Amino acid sequence: MQKSSTAIMPSFDLPGHFRPRHCSVLWQAPLNDWRKRLHEAAERWTGNHVPTVFFRADDIGAGGRAFEAICRLFRHHQTPIAMAVVPAWLSQVRKEQLFRSAPLEEPLWGWHQHGWRHVNWQRTGKKSEFGEQRPFEKQWRDIWQGRQKMEEIFLDRFIPVFTPPWNRLSPLTVKIVQQLNFRGISLAGPLPRGARQPSGLTNLRVQIDLHTRKSRDPEQDYLDLLDEITAMMGRKEPVGIMVHHQRMSLFAFDFLHELLTLLNHQSQVDLRGFRNILEKKDAR
């Protein structure tokens, strides 16, 4: 597969020399026929089942070109996106930056809590801010103060959903989240082993990771991504697509624009935000 060039839509206001500091190999340069291959995959999205699809943007805490561009993109498509905000990152200046790009009164932005400081406290094993090596009291304090700050800043626009950094938490964390009256948790997988499914707490799972992909083979990874997107159309539970705007190249923005265009014109897909998904669940 040969590589060719493509350009992001001018309305997103990113210069041609724009480069993220970190970027998965897949998104470093456009692949030949990527758009054609995406459209061919979309032709296989039809069926009797209408999947619910949501987008979640992680590591929100400051403005900048990439954040402005992701907001313009989702506003262009009038598609909601769940903004996972790291509370400790929000200073007065950063709050103002966020609201310039994503005004609080706009209903598109699903402001919810992304841990407290996005710090790894695990001494061994995989990274986690709320892993099994942290005691209950420290976890409770961090999540509580994070929620207090979220409610102060986002008022009634705050959605009581907890996304743990690195998509990892312990069974203790699940208990704390329930005690603090969250309505949902958003993970990349099921609840951790040993955690019971609490009543009234929904796991809004993300099944597709767009921008923190680890493969070193961009051609195969692109085919794998298209297969993942096609497979999600058969799921009965809501399907989440995870976005990291800080890791998006021009190609990544262009791809996401094309994907949103297809999803919004596909009658077999129901695009929703966190609040709407939880309200729909309550109405059953």
Q: Is residue 33 in some structural domain?
A: no
pLDDT average, residue stretch 184-208: 90
CATH number of the domain encompassing residue 104: 3.20.20.370
Residues 19 and 17: their CA atoms lie apart, in Å, by 6
pLDDT over 70 percentage in the chain: 96
> What tokens does 265 get?
């014109």
**For the residues 179-192, what does the mean pLDDT come to?**
95
- pLDDT tens sequence across 116-130: 999 999 999 999 999
The answer to whether position 21 is within a domain reads no
Q: Is 261 a domain residue? A: yes
Assess if residue 122 is contained within a domain.
yes
Supply the pLDDT for residue 35.
96
Other beta carbons within 10 angstroms of residue 53's beta carbon come to 22
Task: Examine the pLDDT at 228 and tell me if it is beyond 70.
Answer: yes
Number of separate domains in the chain: 1
Is residue 195 assigned to a domain?
yes
Report residue 33 CA to chain centroid gap. 26
Of 255, 261, 282, 277, whose CA–CA distance to 112 is shortest? 277
Query: Is 223 contained in some domain?
Result: yes
Give the pLDDT of residue 6. 43
Distance CA 35, CA 9 (A): 14
Per-residue model confidence as pLDDT tens digits over 26-48: 999 999 999 999 999 999 887 77
Distance CA 125, CA 254 (A): 36
Examine residue 14 and state whether it is found in any structural domain, yes or no. Answer: no
Specify if 153 maps to a domain: yes
The confidence score (pLDDT) of residue 268 equals: 78
User: Which residue blocks in 116-243 are alpha helix, DSSP H?
Assistant: 136-154, 171-179, 218-232
- Mean pLDDT of the chain, nearest integer: 92
Angle CA 228–252–274, to nearest 5:
60
3-state secondary structure of 150: helix
Q: What is the mean pLDDT of residues 239-247?
A: 97
Q: What is d(CA 82, CA 187) in angstroms, rounded to the nearest whole number?
A: 13
Residue 11 has pLDDT above 60, yes or no: no
Query: pLDDT-based confidence at 9, cuts 50/70/90?
Result: low
Which burial class, exposed, middle or buried, applies to 125 when counting CB atoms under 10 A from its CB (0-12, 13-18, 19+)?
exposed
Residues comprising the chain, all counted: 284
pLDDT for the residue numbered 234: 85
Does the predicted TM-score (pTM) go above 0.75? yes
> Pairing between strand 239-243 and 184-185?
unpaired
Give the pLDDT of residue 173: 96
Name the residue range of residue 227's domain: 48-282
Average pLDDT over residues 265-273: 87
